Amino acid sequence: MSELAASIAHELNQPLAAIVSNAQAAQRLLSRPPPDIAEARAALDDIAADGRRAGQVIQRMRAMLRKSELSVVAQDLNELVREVTRLLASAALLSDTTVRIDLAPALPPVRGDGVQLQQVLLNLLTNALDAVSRRPPEARLVVVRTRPSDGGLVELSVADSGEGVPPEDLARIFEPFVTTKAHGLGVGLAISRSIVEAHGGRLWAERGPGEGATFRCALPAWNGDTRSVG
């Protein structure tokens, strides 16, 4: 129960924080003389998108409580990267971080639950933004990459120019409630690893590039067979 509560709190935190900051932005834009209607409308669009995301998280939790099956369909990881980086665009802008995406053309699809896989990437990106926040603005870089890899796998990686992870912590940070952050729950990586493993994949951390960290997620490419998974 406490892990379920922690994961609900964790997953709703990001869209709720984004809704509040976009609402504040819209208020500022509308109280300017003259009001900036176009930008305010864009902020409202983002609020609606984040509200829908929070709704999806709740729906998924309800499905889990009813133990019903998750919606498992072909997922284009490149599309997923575009969606999630869009969700985080204002957070990246606010924190002066450059988020670069490098997507392999003609990437094979993977099979999975879109909302869950989005959550994995969102957790990795949120951590990367936190990790670079103590570097000077011009040194804050996050690179999201997709690649086909050996053995019929598709790899998604998030590399950052942050403070890095000490070698002795590379495995431990995936345990629940391990955090070095004042306001962290320490569940983002634990949840992400459970999701990736439930999809038949692997998620791990490496040191580098430079002093930073790289998180890699390898998922089986979908060969098109339509047997249902449990």
Ligand X SMILES: Nc1ncnc2c1ncn2[C@@H]1O[C@H](COP(=O)(O)OP(=O)(O)OP(=O)(O)O)[C@@H](O)[C@H]1O
User: Rule CB under 6 A: is residue 134 a binding residue for ligand X?
Assistant: no
x/- track of binding to Mg ion for residues 125-154 (CB under 5 A): --x---------------------------
Q: Which residues contact 216 (CB under 8 A, 6 or more apart)?
A: 155, 156, 157, 203, 204, 205, 206
Instruction: Find the binding residues for ligand X in span 8-67 (CB under 6 A).
Output: 10
Residue range at the interface with ligand X (CB under 6 A); choices 22-30, 38-46, 86-94, 127-135: 127-135
Structure tokens at 8: 């609900």
Q: Is the dihedral of CA 196, 116, 112, 154 positive or negative?
A: negative
Q: 83 or 163, CB closer to ligand X? A: 163
Burial class (CB in 10 A: 0-12, 13-18, 19+), 25: buried
Among ligand X, Mg ion, none, what does residue 179 contact (CB within 5–8 Å per kind)? ligand X
Instruction: Find the binding residues for ligand X in span 157-216 (CB under 6 A).
Output: 160, 162-165, 173, 178-181, 184-190, 213
Neighbours of 18 (CB within 10 A): 21
Structure tokens at 92: 């990246």
How far is the C-alpha of 193 from the C-alpha of 97, rounded, in Å? 25
> Which segments within 59-152 are labelled E, that is strand?
73-75, 98-102, 110-112, 141-149
The single residue among 15, 162, 164, 188 that binds Mg ion, judged by CB under 5 A, is 188
Q: How many residues bind ligand X (CB under 6 A)?
A: 23
Q: 10 or 216, CB closer to ligand X? A: 10
Residues at the contact surface with ligand X, assessed by CB under 6 A: 10, 123, 127-128, 131, 160, 162-165, 173, 178-181, 184-190, 213
